[in-house]
Amino acid sequence: MFPSNPQMAIRPNVLSVQVPSPTMSYQSDAAVENGAEAIVNPSKKIENDMMLLGKKIKQHEENIKYLRTHKNSLDDAISDMQVTLGKYHSSTTPKIEDGDLSHMQSEEATVGNIMKHEKSAAAIFCQLKKRHQASHFKDVLGVVATLGKVNNDNLSRLLSEYLGLDNMLALVCTTYDGIKSLVSYDKEGSINKSSGLYGLGNAIGQTLEGRFNLICLENLRPYVGEFMPNDPQKRLNLSIPKLPNGETPAGFRGYAVNMIHIDNAHLFYLTVDGNGLRETLFYTLFSRLQVYETRAEMLQALPCIYDGAISLDGGMIRSTGVYALGTGEEIDVKFPITYGVSHLPEAYIELEKEMKELKWKRERMMEDLQREDAMLGHVKHNFGVKKQEFLGFLAQSSPYPQSSPYPQSSPYPMQYTMQATPQGRSTPR
């Protein structure tokens, strides 16, 4: 017999039973109910998607309506300004003075020298423009040499030499589309010589050969800073260089970028940011190139020269530590000369600037319209896909023929409002 152990308690096996709490039971029932609703009535999500797309369609249509109204008002304002500017032209008798005649001859001489380079892109463009056949290139402003003027022949010669012939003959476009209109490529990456500047050049008997520079304004990094106050030429407000002792270098005449005279039409609103030629094209070409009276004075100013300098007696520093020595190269393509003679009243110049701004705003408005129209088409397409998905579901889920809740004559419901399935009624399976 075994002795009894009073300390040893008998522990029967207990069956553990977990009773669900009321909260857990409610959550479980809700999950089952939601799952059942998703299975029984999946059309609800499609209807919600269609309702959201309908609201987007309505919003895009309202945006387009607003933009078109605003565009029409801009068209009216531009038309009125053109009439006013036309009255200025008709009421002002043009005067031809010695300075004006020299100015005209200088421009013609520049274009004539460009056209001597017969096989260049610049010469072909000028020839097409002369024949009024350059309408294909609406985003092309022209050749660098024709887009700016200076007030004396010596400065014209020096600045043209500094830039070099390739840059003086470069074509300038406002957008990259302008570049694509000039030159296109086939699938193998070869130049398509039957289109663009190549094709038109062949048509007039001038074959384009070699490389040429194209400058796209919208891809340039423009000058960021202030402009000289009340300056009709919109010159850049660049700080005057200072020597280590705080004094201005002797013989400093100014910055080359501000010595270029630009036509009023090219001072404002040539890019989507509203920039003109000075802060884009000429700031890129000249940067902060300084101009001095003599070579000796230029060399004395070396401590404050960072982006190159030229002197009116022929000295040239291309960049810090890079000197151009020897006899200067004579370039036949130079900037035209202007004498600053203007017979146009200040009100005319201001009105021309305002019209340029309105035209710039209209171009941006047209871009917004095209964007909204594309987005509207995309949303309408998605709406049509959802509608077909909804109708397909109804056809598959019902054993009885069902009519569409939306008219078959139109792909979209009236005012883009959705007919929701009545609550509490599920579609038959």
| Residues whose CB falls within 8 Å of the CB of residue 36, separated by 6 or more in sequence, listed in order | none
Residue 25 has pLDDT above 60, yes or no: no
Average pLDDT over the chain, rounded to an integer: 79
pTM score, whole prediction: 0.61
- Beta strand ranges found along 10-158 (DSSP E): 140-143
Residue 141 has pLDDT above 70, yes or no: yes
Q: At CA 150, angle to CA 153 and CA 280, rounded to 5?
A: 140
Residue 7 has pLDDT above 90, yes or no: no
Residue 129 has pLDDT above 80, yes or no: yes
The pLDDT assigned to 5 comes to 46
CA atoms of 103 and 151, how far apart (whole Å)? 10
The pLDDT assigned to 349 comes to 66
CA atoms of 59 and 82, how far apart (whole Å)? 35
Residue 158 has pLDDT above 70, yes or no: yes
> Which residues sit opposite 185 in a β-bridge?
191
Q: What is the tens place of the pLDDT at every residue in 275-294?
A: 889 999 999 999 999 999 99
The pLDDT assigned to 403 comes to 52
Q: What is the tens place of the pLDDT at every residue in 187-234?
A: 888 999 888 899 988 888 898 999 999 999 999 999 999 998 888 888
> Which residues sit opposite 191 in a β-bridge?
185
Residue 23's pLDDT band, with cuts at 50, 70 and 90, is very low
- Percentage of the chain beyond pLDDT 90 is 35
Domain map of the chain by residue range?
93-241+258-282+334-343
Residue 363's pLDDT band, with cuts at 50, 70 and 90, is confident
> Could you tell me the strand order of the sheet in which 252-255 lies?
252-255, 290-292, 309-311, 316-319, 322-323
**Higher per-residue pLDDT: 107 or 304:** 304
CA atoms of 74 and 370, how far apart (whole Å)? 17
State the helix-helix crossing angle for 196-203 and 121-130, rounded to 10 degrees.
60
Q: Find the DSSP H helices in 92-206.
A: 98-115, 121-130, 153-163, 165-168, 176-182, 196-203
Q: What is the tens place of the pLDDT at every residue in 384-424?
A: 888 888 888 777 776 655 454 555 444 454 444 444 444 44
